Homo-oligomer: A and B are copies of this chain.
Amino acid sequence: MSSRQSIRDVAKAAGVSITTVSRVMNTVDYPVSAELRERVIEAARQLNYSPNRSAQSLRKNAVDVIGLIVRDIDYSYFGQIARGVTESALDQGCMAFVCNTGRKLEKEYAYHELLWQHRVKGIVIAGGGVADARYAEIVTRQTKRMQAAGLKVVALAPQGAEMPCLGYDHQALGRRMTEYLLGIGHQDIGFLAGPSSVVTSQRHVCGYRSAIEEAGGVFRESLVACGAFSEEGGDKTCRQLLDGSIPFTALCAGNDDIAIGAIHALRERGLRVPEDVSIVGVGNTPTSRYTRPQLTTFDTFRYQTGVRAVQYVLSEIPAAEWSENQIAAACPTPQLIERNSVAAR
């Protein structure tokens, strides 16, 4: 009565073979007569039977699980991705392991191995890809191994990594942010980026730089500061810029959290946003609508990206066919949301 019922128990209770039980549980109509079907279902219900996934997976050589690797699940950026991933996985009957690395390489390796051992169907990597040579090498090797075994890996990152990627162009976004500010009259623009070791940050700054230079300005190292992708990071990097000798009238932030931290820092120094300094963020987090001032930001559709990533991972599309077209179709271009943290000059 207490412990777990197996398919044998059901078979015995229904007076049939386990083959029949299996067929009743798995196929909708074909190979069993209606009467037996009824008897089996009733027996299973009575015994509260539910199949053992480990056994199923072992025999079918297929596990209905995917892995999601994130840097910090408690950041809204990753939270939104995780929601997209878990929801759309569930739609297809899949569970998702959430793997939080906290930017620790050892953890990421450990998770890779664990996911591999679990024979997951696929892995969505969000916020891995630290620009560590050792890391890149190991992950690339791992990924190759996985793909060879039919496991789908997709990085929620701009193209370039040696695996299927799903991400908008961060460099283009850095450029757009800057051009937007230039376009409304700002000349002295700073960039508050994420960690310098993260490719996203590097590309942001890259795009920022090219926009500045193409507009005939000069790129100043000291108008760029790198820090954590958090309010605290934004607060610190902004103070850095304020303590520098170069004045600025506008700021790009690597994400909305950074922007919020920066606004805080500016306020503490007696500067008004957007009257004294304009600021534009990335992410369009729920909070960004409700800050003071409300944040002008670029929506990057993280939820959607999570959904799409799972669609790829659980599809039959082989990695090789994951072309640029599909990426473009799967990943909408960031969209400017104009609110009140930016003023024309």
Interface residues of A (CB under 8 A from B): 2-4, 48, 50-55, 57-58, 63, 65, 68, 72-76, 78-80, 82-83, 86-87, 90, 95-100, 102, 107, 110-111, 113-114, 116-119, 145, 148-150, 230-232, 234-235, 257, 260-261, 263-264, 267, 286-287, 289-292, 294, 303
Contacts and interface: CB of A to CB of B under 8 A. Distances in A.
Given A53-B118, A95-B114, A291-B291, A83 B74 contact: yes
A73 B48 contact: no
A62 to B, nearest CB: 10
Given A87-B100, A87-B102, A263 B289 contact: no
Contact of A52 (B68, B79, B119, B294): B119
A78 to B, nearest CB: 8
Contacts of A100: 82-83, 86-87, 90
Given A4-B149, A54-B57, A291-B292, 8 more contacts: A65-B97, A74-B286, A74-B303, A78-B79, A86-B99, A87-B100, A235-B290, A264-B289
Q: Chain B CB within 10 Å — which of A52, A78, A113, A261 has the most?
A: A52
A72 to B, nearest CB: 7
A119 B287 contact: no
A244 B93 CA distance: 47
Contacts of A267: 292
A231 B83 contact: no
List the 5 closest pairs (A to B, CB-CB), nearest first: A74-B79, A54-B57, A231-B290, A98-B98, A264-B290
Q: Chain B CB within 10 Å — which of A51, A76, A80, A98 has the most?
A: A98
A53 B235 contact: no
A108 to B, nearest CB: 11
A115 B89 CA distance: 14
Contact of A72 (B52, B54, B83, B235): B83
A107 B119 contact: no
